[in-house]
Amino acid sequence: QRHLISAADLTRDDAVLILDTAEEMARVADRPIKKLPTLRGRTVVNLFFEDSTRTRISFEAAEKRLSADVINFTAKGSSVSKGESLKDTAQTLEAMGVDAVVIRHGASGAPYRLATSGWIDAHVINAGDGTHQHPTQALLDAFTMRRRLVGPDAGLGKDLDGRRVTLVGDILHSRVARSNVDLLHTLGAEVTLVAPPTLLPVGVETWPCEVSYDLDSTLTKSDAVMLLRVQRERMNAAFFPTEREYSRRYGLDGDRMAKMPDHAIVMHPGPMVRGMEITAEVADSDRCTVVEQVTNGVSVRMAVLYLLLGGAEPAVTHARPTEE
């Protein structure tokens, strides 16, 4: 593939290849010199029209570890404030010699438009678009689940078969939820969504997952529980749930976490709102993988960049990254 726009575009073999390549990339991070020469001479622009801490810095770290030249663009402080369009912004950057564009945008579909419009020739990687998709987040989440629940030697094609994953919270506005449902289904996991009825999208019954309104009984049957932030910035203020009521019904505290099986993990894509969807006790517990997810994100993004830009050959079976 030339682009990574949606987790739904990945076949099981594509996803497993990325996860296996990410295992190779993780070994680079354990070495004293954390760099590979793979993308030397290639230029990647990080084009961020929406705020980000993890994704933007993680992509930058991944690009630098692969020796790419990196250009960071944020809409704030750019000519976007003077009315410049996405097309003109992208063409301006490509005119400076860009091989790949990592884009985050508030509008669902912006990365797809960039990849398919013919405006630019560069590879396009979606770093989160509106409420639509965040494929590298889903990949790093699957990578984390595979390591914690299956082990690093997980067999090809069987990675998350039968694992039970529960996503809790604001599904309506969550690109992370959509990407995770798509990818986890592809990898054979069983996904359950738990949310207030007002925070479930119309048509959710057609998604490849179950829906439950009973968090406590779902927790007892989960291998991984992923909490999602209530995205107030995408809501009309009149619809904000109160923090107290939301955390009572849908938040994870120590008592609720104790209902989970002993091996089960707590996940969060970040940013977390402590006291709302997760208590500090849970966020700081050994069962919470939030920091591990961030670490894994660099390896997964290195794998995606390597497979899209590094060459035509599959990374693991034929063209292992050469060490510098």
3-state secondary structure of 267: strand
> Does 123 count as an annotated binding residue?
no
Residue 124 identity: V
Nearer to ligand CP, 224 or 316 (CB): 224
314 prior amide bond cis, ω within 30 = no
Does residue number 174 form part of the binding site for ligand CP (CB under 6 A)? Answer: no
> Does 82 count as an annotated binding residue?
yes
Does residue number 144 form part of the binding site for ligand CP (CB under 6 A)? Answer: no
> Does 229 count as an annotated binding residue?
yes
Neighbours of 139 (CB within 10 A): 27
* Piece of the chain touching ligand CP by CB under 6 A; list 84-92, 205-213, 263-271, 313-321: 263-271
What is the nearest approach in angstroms of ligand CP to the Cβ of residue 271?
Answer: 6
Distances (CA, A) of 282 to 131, 146, 277: 27, 21, 10
What is the nearest approach in angstroms of ligand CP to the Cβ of residue 226?
Answer: 11
Nearer to ligand CP, 133 or 192 (CB): 133
Does residue number 137 form part of the binding site for ligand CP (CB under 6 A)? Answer: yes
Q: Using CB under 6 A, pick the residue from 28, 61, 63, 128 that binds ligand CP.
A: 128
In the Cβ-directed half-sphere of 187, how many Cα atoms lie within 13 Å? Answer: 31
Q: Using CB under 6 A, pick the residue from 8, 29, 52, 69 that binds ligand CP.
A: 52
Q: Which residues of 282-318 are buried (b: 16+ CB within 10 A; e: fewer)?
A: bbeeeebbbebbbebbbbbbbbbbbbbbbeeeebbee
What is the nearest approach in angstroms of ligand CP to the Cβ of residue 158?
Answer: 27
Spatial separation of the C-alpha atoms in residues 18 and 21, rounded to whole Å? 5
What is the nearest approach in angstroms of ligand CP to the Cβ of residue 137?
Answer: 5
Does residue number 111 form part of the binding site for ligand CP (CB under 6 A)? Answer: no
The single-letter DSSP state of residue 237 is: G
> Does 185 count as an annotated binding residue?
no
What is the nearest approach in angstroms of ligand CP to the Cβ of residue 55?
Answer: 3
Which of 91, 95, 36, 40 is closest to 69 using CA atoms?
A: 40
Q: Using CB under 6 A, pick the residue from 155, 271, 311, 314 that binds ligand CP.
A: 271
> Does 137 count as an annotated binding residue?
yes
Both tokens of 69, joined, read 């030249």
Q: Using CB under 6 A, pick the residue from 270, 275, 281, 295 that binds ligand CP.
A: 270
Backbone phi and psi for residue 145, each to the nearest 5 degrees, phi listed first: -65, -40
What is the nearest approach in angstroms of ligand CP to the Cβ of residue 216?
Answer: 26
Q: What is the DSSP string of 24-91?
A: HHHHHHTSSS----TTTT-EEEEEESS--SHHHHHHHHHHHHTT-EEEEEESTTSGGGGT--HHHHHH
Give the footprint of ligand CP on this chain (CB under 6 A): 52-55, 128, 137, 269-271
Binding site: what residues are annotated? 54-55, 82, 104, 134, 137, 175, 229, 270-271
Binding site for L-aspartate: what residues are annotated? 82, 175, 229
